[in-house]
Amino acid sequence: MARDDKYCASNYSYHEMIKLVMGKNFWQSNDLDDKLETFYVSDGPVGVRSTLDNNLCDKNEEIPSTAYPSGEVLASTFNVSLAKEYAKSIADDLIERKLDVLLAPGINIKRNPLCGRNFEYFSEDPLLSGELAKYYIEGLNEKHVGSSLKHYICNNSEYQRNWVSSEVDERALQEIYLANFKRAFQGKPWTLMCSYNLLNGVRMSENKPLYDFAYAHGFDGLIISDWGAVKDATLSINAGLHLIMPYDKRLEDQLIKDLDNGRLNKEALKNAAQKVLDLIKKNEEEKKYRKIEKSLRERKEVALNVALEGIVLLQNKGNILPLKDKNIKILVAGAPTVQYFNGGGSSRVAIEEPFKTLASSLREIGYKNIDEGEIATDNRAHAINMGNFKKFIEKAYENDVLIMGVGGDKNLFSEDFDRQDMKLANEEILAIKRAALTHKKIVLLVYGGGAVELEEVSQLVDAIIYVGFSGERVSDALAKLFTGEKCFSGRLAETFALSLKDYPSSSTYVDESLISYSEGLDVGYRHFVTHDVNTLYPFGYGLSYSEFVYSNLKVIKDEKNHLIHVSFNVKNVGEYDAKEVVLLFVSPLTKNVYRPKRELKRFDKVFIKKGEEETIKFTLDIDDFKYFNLNYHEFVFDHGRYRIEINKDAENVILSEEILL
């Protein structure tokens, strides 16, 4: 075979093509016994998780790497530039390890707060999720490494994920669950990973209509299976899947058998093999331009910066924070303050250095009177191992401020299983109640990977900080935020309801075969604001040490180009230089069909020095006012009245103006 012909599928036998459309092993494409180059993949999206060392030798154990904040925390930054920087930093980790494709980002919609993998995913909102994914993918592309956009599609729960059918109506599918993928396709991901589940009765590894949809909406790469998602290799290849991962002899034997009996479509096999060859060629070309730009220390600074912008201040009674007096007596306790808390499954990352405790970071930043105590020392899916709680209470009386860390880790938030509820453990609630009786100031740190019921404890503590899984630099980030050296700017990318029953997805029909998405468009804040359901902390909520005033909203219609130009001013009238998240929603006032009360259409994050003012500008186009019409099976625009809203969060409108379109 001529060298120029090795990337042409027609030059290989059908049996060689079968090998090409399956991985060589767990991490690698097939090289046909060294006839071809190969590419290596790595788990993501919160860092490099691979058992391959820097020489690509499989050590059969995870190699430690930089552990970045979770996708949920990244989304809470509302900062697309930071999402790109995050991805470029992980790319340097990949390049250092000689790996080629990161299996990330994961962008499944947070339909139900109990989903075990919600910590990996961005948001309940498709615009925020899709925009972050687009910039994430662009960051990897700029570093000449590959991405794998996942999990396509409607893998919004870990319940029976290999066998359950997500039953979704066409409009919800188009407006919610496909909308984020369409936006992410603009970033040009190298691969698209199919999910484990079925959609409306068709397994996603065999779902030709949804594969065709992806190609019709800007995707032009290779479609790869999630690991073990393929049950029938022949149906999958015939439907347009290109690469089955990992290697499975049973599936290889099936393809060989069905090649001989005519069940395997030879053209589909050839097309799949060609896509694999195209990716191998692309990877070889991109390798020439790869270089590490950030030192390991600089990459860890990126992890720190994401944590600083993604940690969310939920409550700050009496402005107890920041703790400006570094002579104040502080008692720190709770398992997450002394152990590294992260999510489980394929996105877990082993940290390279011993975990830095919160007490250590506080001392390092200058607090002189730090004591440590024990409350819950472990949380194994709510099976709490209590520490010396009695001693903690005794110490509490001797200190001015109690910092209490609660929440779950990989034993509670993980791939393969869903949470059973949104509650803190009973022992954690007891610890908070008993601590409140000391009448000391209490700062509650909530670690974990998703929404938590906090109404009861919010009455007992002074401040609440949602930490999430903020990566290996979490303690340093918290210390900087405690001092006021850095200002809180994180906003919730999902709704924290008063209780689980308030989410419509918690009461829809489920059995051994299917999950009914009968709530339709009422996902996340769309449900809460449309039906006036009270929440504890709405989508987009987050406090700051500073204060911002909004004014001078202008909405100008450009009839000729079908554009709406929106501008307004934001002034920092507080005492801190700070970043502010700005949110623009559209509310349809004229309705021919059911539409949510408001939907996010633009967002940004801006840095404004104290006393200064910035003018924010957004441009909307006709697509921002459309909905999916079930009669025409396409997005349509209805003439009528709409309200442009500038919000603090999904529930609180600051400025608004009605327009006739």
Catalytic residues: 226
Burial of 653 (0-12, 13-18, 19+ CB in 10 A): middle
Eight-state DSSP code of residue 356: P
- d(CA 48, CA 68) in angstroms, rounded, equals 9
Output DSSP code: residue 633. Answer: T
Our measurement of the distance from residue 546's CA atom to the centroid of its chain's CA atoms, rounded to an integer in Å, reads 27
Closest CA to 299 of 359, 352, 354, 355: 352
CA torsion, ordered 512, 514, 515, 518, to nearest 10 deg: -130
CA distance 20 to 507: 44
DSSP string spanning 57-100? -B-SSPPP---PPPHHHHHHTT-HHHHHHHHHHHHHHHHHTT--
Which residue's structure tokens are 């918690």?
506
Distances (CA, A) of 436 to 429, 430, 465, 536, 573: 11, 10, 17, 21, 34
Cα three-residue angle 512-517-520, rounded to 5 degrees: 170
Yes or no: say if 419 and 439 are a contact pair by the CB < 8 Å rule: no
Length of the chain in terms of residues written: 661
Q: What is the 3-state secondary structure (H, E, C) of 469-501?
A: CCCCCHHHHHHHHHHCCCCCCCCCCCCEECCHH
Q: CA 645 → CA 384, 532, 599, 656, distances in Å?
A: 45, 17, 10, 4
Which residues, including other chains, have CB under 8 Å from residue 250's CB and lie 6 or more apart?
none
* Joined tokens for residue 170: 């066409």
Rg, Å, the chain Cα set? 25
User: Which residue type, as a one-letter code, is found at position 486?
Assistant: K
Residues forming a β-bridge with 620:
564
DSSP character at residue 467:
E
Helix, strand, coil share (%) of the chain residues, nearest 5: 30, 25, 45
Q: Do β-strands 329-333 and 202-203 pair in parallel, antiparallel, or remain unpaired?
A: unpaired
Q: Find the helix or strand (DSSP H, E) in which 131 lies.
A: helix 126-142
Beta bridge partners of 369: 329
Taking Cα atoms as reference points, which of 242, 303, 284 lies closest to residue 471? 303
Residue-wise DSSP of 211-261: HHHHHHTT--SEEEE-TT--S-HHHHHHHT--BB-S--HHHHHHHHHHHHH
For the stretch 556-561, contacts whose Cβ atoms lie closer than 8 Å and that sit 24 or more positions apart, written own/partner, are 557/659, 557/661
Q: CB–CB of 449/72 below 8 Å?
A: yes
What is the Cα 530 distance to its own chain's centre?
25
Helix axis angle, 80-96 relative to 126-142, nearest 10°? Answer: 40
